Structures are given as structure tokens and as C-alpha cells.
A and B are shown apart, each in its own frame.
Chain A
Amino acid sequence: MSCSIQNRTKWKIFFSIIVAWAFSISCVTKSRSDSSSENLIYERNKEITSVLESPYPVIPLRQSNVSDAEKIQTILIKDPQLADLYVHKFSGGKMLNEIFSISEARPSDLPQGVNVKSKENYYRLEMYNYALNLSIIAIVSKREQKVIHLTTYKETQPDVPPHLVELANYIARHDTSVIHAYGENYEDVQPLMPGTKTALNRTKCQRSKHLCVAPTFVKNDKALWAIVDLTDLKVAGIRWTQVGETGMAVTQRTAQNSKVMDCYCDIYNSYEKDGWNFKYTMTRSDGLQIFDIAYQGNKIFNQVKLVDWHVSYSKTDGFGYSDAIGCPEFSTAAVLAVEPPYFEAIIENNDTTGFLVGQQYYSEGWPTPCNYNYHQYYEFYKDGRFRPVAGSIGRGCGNNGMYRPVTRISIAGEHNSIQEYKDQKWIPWKQEQWTLQTEQKKFDRDNGWFKILNKNGKGLVLVANTGQLRDGGRGDHAYVYATKHHAKVDEGDTDLPTIGPCCNLDYQQGPEKFINNESIEDTEVVLWYVAQVQNDDTKGKEYCWAESVLKDGVFKPLIYPCYTGPMFKPVL
């Protein structure tokens, strides 16, 4: 499948139109539920809230063919063995549970030593713990009014009961991404086998480790899988398959990966708004790359991208990681784009001042220790300001981590020169070099640090980030490098592998490899920007950090991002 709108040749344009028509809806950037979907979800949330107020946070099975089902469930729910599944040992928060089924126990269900002849006395109950993604199989004796056997299964989910099937169907049918993907006559179509548990349907939510089911909608010879996350009550991914197709399982991971791979990896998309226009693509190791960036018709940047993340944990041991970010498959990225890029308005003082395009990258398991989440976005302001932003959302391997994102900014124009504000005047940089943003550094008004100007004196001012920008950043302490851009020698125009080690504490973060005393006066220049931010897990001061907290009965990340990046202001 292709979602390309790249148009290098005429036939490609034609092909793109056809393909875009066929698949554009499956490349819609964001999925949101419409307001009419609120009823069942609202009822479900109300039920969860109510249950979590009880000392036994368990949603019982309402409909059952078993007589005395309520009484039997109560025996299980009140069993003291389940206490650890109700209240989290460390935080004291309540964890959500639900009974999925109750049935007369079969002889094979009964533990050894139980009198099989009296099996009508025994009931098998299946319960699911949403917070721990854990199944509980219990055998309850009605006569003795006690649980006689209890087994727990980690990362296992029982078959879902009919009311959750209905809820999943409802969520899928009201999700805009599903509606857009299916297209016409969507309202008349009923999902196929919505009750099939995703595991049975060869489908799983591997990344979130949530309970997921997959209502599947057939259209002609194709089937649209809507992977519904019943823990978060939302659609986790959609994917078309051919009816009867065998092969890779349709899961959260495959659905997410295929969308990013098909619609963004090496696919050139264009965007135009507020006087800006640019192209963007997901790279194999340099994150979301934007290129051919113009403001009011004037090209400002050739290309901007996030080359590396260097994370070091100790000033002495050299322990840490050097990670690249990018496509989730067939890439040299270690922290992956699993969701598509998104666009968002920039609102300052209740006024929309511009927009941003953003991208997040996850390593699986985040926010548990030694897993990473990076956030990258580019801000485009109506007044011509531009800002490449790189942020870490923890959590990493320790509370003494130094994050160093490496951003490459290729400035448009063949006759540029660079000046640095130093000792209260603007000093030209004649040759390739680097400098550091120290605490003592004095900037021009409004934190002006560098000017990148063409022959006519027009261009950009690089504004230092000392924590004055809108994202709560505490300042960048950045290294800035300037190198000559070579049209015929690739010094980073194409995908760069990891260019620097994790743990260099000085300017040797990778861009210095391209510094060899070449003149950077009246020529094409590339700026490299390496911010340095120290993480912190001190209560109340968390920075570049994330934790898992219990909210509404399930674990959710609580994030403390640290954002970095300079601002570019136009010199007109």
C-alpha cells in the first residue's frame, strides 16, 4: 500500500491521485470520537467510577444463565486472596477488575482431590484485572460458600462477555478513523464476529498491554479491522486486509506500524498554512524531517531534522545510550515512531499564533525504567518565527541522566554568513566552529545569539533558549556548531546513522566530525544544535521524567517532559 503524494513525474501524479483517493482516508492523521459516541462510553466510565469507590473494585457480570450468579460472584469478590488485586501495594490506589464469565465447573476445571460427583456445586469464574493485565480463574463452591481454587495468569485475557463486545462495537462504529476508512454506507454495516477476542482473532495490543478486541467490517473483498482498546475505551489502530487473507496477525503493533510505514516513511507529504509551506517525511534514523521550508514564498530552510539522542548516566563511568529515532520497521532507529505525525494550533494568550507538526517516539515498555519516550515538534508562527523542538519524556535508566538531542538545521541560500553576539557586539564566524551556551553568556536583546544573514542583510536570528519559551523548558546549555554545506558531499543531507557516542561530556557529540576549518562566509551553511538537559526525579521538580500512576483503576503515565530548542526569528 502507498499513501504517497510525491509528484515527480506525471504518471506518479496520476497514480498518486488514484492511490490517494483509495487510501487517503486510512492515512487520516488523528482519530477522534464524535460526540454521539458518548452514551455507552459515558455509562461505562460512570460504572467504573462507582465500582472504584467500593472496597471491592470489581464490575460483576450482570447477565448470566447461572442461577445464584450474584451470590457466587460475591463469594469470589469478597475472598481475601484477591486483596492484592484490588489495592496497589505501593500507591494505595484502587485497581479495576471485572468478572467476565461464570459457568458450572467441568470435571477438568476442578483441582485434584475435589469430589467430581458433586460438580454441580462448583462454579468456574473468570475475572480480569485491567491494571495488571492479568486473568484470574477461580473455582467457587456454592455450598461451602468459599473459593476452593484460584489461579492467576499474567498478561492473559479471558474471552470478553457480550456487554464488552457491544461496547467495543460501539466504540469502533463511532470512531472517526474507522468511519473515514470505511467510507460510504458505513451506518448500514454490522461488524463481523465482534465477539471474537482479539487473541483468538490473532490480534493483540502488544504495546499498551491492554484488553483489546477487533470488530471487523467487511467491504467487498476487503475487511477493515478496528482494534478497540477496552482498557482506554478507544480505537488503538485500524487496518485493511483482504478477506480470507492469511499471514501476519492484525494487531495493535502491525496496524500502527503499517500506517506509519505506508503513509510517512520515505513518503513526502506537503503542508501549507499561515504563510508557511513545507514537505515532511519520516526518516529511518533522523526522526521527522521537514524540508523545503518557505515562509511567504521565500525558502528559509533546506531541511531540519533530529539526528540523535545521546543519554549519559554518569560523569565517570561512560554508561548510557545513543539512540536514533525513526520508522518502526526497516530502520536504524531504536526508539520508534508508532503513531503518525500530528498537527496542532499554537495558542498564546488565548490567541492562535501559529501551528506545529509533532511526532512522538516510544520504546516498548515506557514509562517503566530504561525505556524512552521522545517528543519532537516544529513550531511555525504566523509572524515568521520558527522553532525546532526536541523533548524527552523520560524515563530512562536512572535519575542522573543527561539528555543531548542533536538537531541539524540546513539553512537555505548560497550566500549566508554567521555572526555570534559576543562581548556586546556581533562577531562574524569565518570558519567552521562550535561554541557553548554557558551560564555566563550574555545575549543581545530578546536573547539574540546568532545572526544568519544573506548578502542583503536578510535572514534569521537564533534566539537562545534560557527557559523563557512557552514549553516550560529550563534552558538548553546548548552547543552550536556551524559547518559548510556541500551540495556534492553528503554531510548529513541523507539519513545519518548515530553520529556520536552516548557519553562524551564535551562538544564531541558528532557534528564536530564535519568541522575542518572550511570557510563559512558567503556560502551555504548548516547549524547543528545540541541541547543539554539533566533529568530530575525530585518530587515537585521532576524533569525529563515519567511515572506510572493509577488513574481510573488502570496504570497511566504521568509525564514531566523537558523541551529544548532555539527560536528562529526572521530578519526582514
Chain B
Amino acid sequence: MKERFIRFGILFFSLFSNHLVAQLDQCKGVPIYMTKMGFNPEQSYISTSERNVMGLVIMQSDQPGNPRAKIIKSAQAPSWKKWGYLGAITTDEHGNSYILPAAKVNMLYNKVEYQNTIYKLDAMSGELQQFISLPMEIKPGAKNPFGLLGSFYDCSNHLLIVSTVAGSDEKKERGKVYIVDPIKKTYKVIFENKDFYGLAVHVHEGKKFLFLSSARSGDLYSVEVDQMNQPIGNLKKEFSINGIGLRGDDRIRKIRFTGTGQMILNTVLFYYNLTAPSEEQVGRFTYQWNKEKKTWELLKVE
């Protein structure tokens, strides 16, 4: 109850003040399974992107937050590799994680009919199970093995937002964005026939916005949403990272905001094909909101 009150307070403050605040997914709860598995939750994290490891793995690091830190130990429960390669992770206030499937080196271990299925890692048991399967008019296949790509858990309303590109090909976008209610296990489409990758809800100068990145270009969009994340405005192109960075053709995979008005974009090389094992072509762009010009300005490319 107290936790809910605090969250409401944050949202109230965000919506009715002119201050920038961090995005609305910063409520990750501590999962009990970590302790049960003998891992220190303060030093541990789950990952789907460890080289030579399929599925989900838990790692304990001696310097949490530092990707180059020494890994003290790691483990993988049997259900964590059952579903093949996995991708985006988002975690709720109870420590349950919602994990999306991925298409990586090959499709031997990922059934195409599950590419639009959200998996839930139960905070208590640590079991990874199928949670919700979103509909697909056209199954992923040779022309596009991907389904779900991006996810975001909105702590203010306990809703999950996910993007999928299932069924899209080079000629037609068939992507969708869904709001998923993890408690009622219901879902609703808010965008269709548009391929989006990364997602983030952000309170910006008193209004709530959903930011979405294109899976087909370096474009970043935003749309004003209501408290239940339903769009109430038109989709607006904020800017593009086309031509910028080491490669110049990255897509924005993950959108995150800081409390100081910065937007951090994690980027990746993505052309709707699988990747060879060593191809870690990723980038990180930092933008700063310019209050006077009311534009995002590029600060740093890494």
C-alpha cells in the first residue's frame, strides 16, 4: 500500500509539475528466486545476451553496473533455456520479469509460433513460463524471423507495453504495439502497421509521452498518452540518428531517460536478419533536452 502511494506521488508530481523526471519503469522489485539460488540480489542481474549462452542466465558481478566487472558466478535454471534465444527484459515492482523471445544466430531453438509470446520469470519460483501469446496474422518466417522486439513496464499503472514486427517484410510493415495488462492478462493494440523497436514512457514537462523507435530506420517518435498509456495525440518524429555514429545505420533498440533531462539511446545493427556470433555492433547515443529550443540535442556518441 505504501509502495503504491509513493508511486502515485511520483506520477502526480511528474504530471503536475514542470520538472523532468526519470522514466516510469524504475520500480524493479527484488526477486526472491535470486536468494533461493544463492545469489546476492544486490550484485546480481539476469541477462539474455551472454555470448555462447542460449536463453536466460543469472550473473553475480563484483561491481554491479560495470559491464567489464569480474563475474563471480553464474547459473541457468532448466526452464531458462527451454525457449531458445531470448531478448528484451523488463521487471515489475514484485520482481517478476517479462522476457521477449529473440531471433539470433539461427532458428533451431526458437519456434516461430512463439515469436510473439511474452515469457514471465516468476519472482518467487524463478520458473520461466509462457505468459501471453499475442496474435499474429502472418507467422515469422524466412523473410522475417522476428516477432516481439521491445518492452517497457510502466510502474505508474502496472501496464506492460510491447512492440512486435511479426509478419512484416521488406515491402510491408505489419508491426504492432500492444498495451498488456499482466494482472488481467489482457492486451490491446495501440499502433498497427508500423514496425517499432524500442519503447519508453516518460513524463516530460507535465505530460506523459510514449517514445518509440523505428525498427526500419534511425527515427525516434513520440506520442502523448493518457494515464493508461492510450495515445491522445499524433505520432511525432522527434529526430533521426541516420548517418550518425560509427556505422550510421543503427536502429534504436532501447530508450532510457535520466533524471537530469538526458535521453540515452542504445542502438544496434538491425536489418531483419540473423546475426553471426561475434557481431556485437552496438552503440550508445546521449541526447540532452534543450528547454529553450525545445529540441533534443546530441551530446555524445559512444
Please tell me which one of the listed residues A202, A334, A369, A497 contacts residue B242 in the complex, with CB atoms under 8 A apart. Answer: A202
Given A261-B170, A330-B273, A372-B276, verify A206-B143 contact (CB < 8 Å): no
Q: Does A331 contact B (CB under 8 A)?
A: yes
- Complex formed: what's the CA distance from A154 to B208 in Å? 39
Q: Does A254 contact B (CB under 8 A)?
A: yes
Contact status A249-B249, CB under 8 Å: yes
Given A249-B242, A332-B107, verify A363-B249 contact (CB < 8 Å): no
Contact status A284-B143, CB under 8 Å: yes
- Complex formed: what's the CA distance from A283 to B249 in Å? 24
Contact status A334-B142, CB under 8 Å: no
Q: Does A328 contact B (CB under 8 A)?
A: yes
Residue-wise, chain B 281-296 has the 8 Å CB interface mask toward A (1 for contact) of 1000000000000000
Q: What band does the interface of chain B fall in when counting residues whose beta carbon is under 8 Å from A? A: 20 to 34
Given A249-B249, A330-B273, verify A364-B242 contact (CB < 8 Å): no
Residue-wise, chain A 234-256 has the 8 Å CB interface mask toward B (1 for contact) of 00000000000001110101100
Given A330-B144, A331-B142, A334-B106, verify A324-B274 contact (CB < 8 Å): yes
Residues on A with C-beta less than 8 A from B37 are: none
- Complex formed: what's the CA distance from A251 to B244 in Å? 12
- Complex formed: what's the CA distance from A335 to B277 in Å? 10
Query: Could you tell me the distance in whole angstroms from the C-beta of B143 to the nearest C-beta in chain A?
Result: 5
Residues on A with C-beta less than 8 A from B16 are: none
- Complex formed: what's the CA distance from A334 to B247 in Å? 19
Q: Does A329 contact B (CB under 8 A)?
A: yes
Contact status A335-B170, CB under 8 Å: no
Residue-wise, chain B 216-254 has the 8 Å CB interface mask toward A (1 for contact) of 010000000000000000000000001100111100000
Given A202-B243, A498-B107, verify A251-B249 contact (CB < 8 Å): yes
Q: Does A370 contact B (CB under 8 A)?
A: yes
Query: Could you tell me the distance in whole angstroms from the C-beta of A316 to the nearest C-beta in chain B?
Result: 15
Contact status A497-B142, CB under 8 Å: yes
Query: Could you tell me the distance in whole angstroms from the C-beta of A408 to the nearest C-beta in chain B?
Result: 15
Nearest chain-A residue to B281 (Cβ)? A364
Name which of B108, B142, B170, B281 has the most chain A CB atoms within 10 A of its CB. B142
Q: Does B189 contact A (CB under 8 A)?
A: no
Please tell me which one of the listed residues A199, A257, A330, A333 contacts residue B248 in the complex, with CB atoms under 8 A apart. Answer: A199
Residues on A with C-beta less than 8 A from B145 are: 332
- Complex formed: what's the CA distance from A204 to B105 in Å? 26
Residues on B with C-beta less than 8 A from A283 are: 142
Contact status A204-B248, CB under 8 Å: yes
Q: Does B279 contact A (CB under 8 A)?
A: yes
Given A327-B273, A328-B271, A332-B107, verify A364-B249 contact (CB < 8 Å): no
Contact status A370-B277, CB under 8 Å: yes
Query: Could you tell me the distance in whole angstroms from the C-beta of A359 to the nearest C-beta in chain B?
Result: 16
Q: Which chain B residues have a beta carbon within 8 Å of chain A's beta carbons?
A: 52, 103, 105-108, 141-145, 169-170, 217, 242-243, 246-249, 269, 271-279, 281
Q: Could you list 4 further interchain pairs (A-B, Cβ under 8 angstroms) beyond the known A249-B242, A330-B144, A330-B272?
A: A257-B271, A321-B276, A365-B278, A500-B108
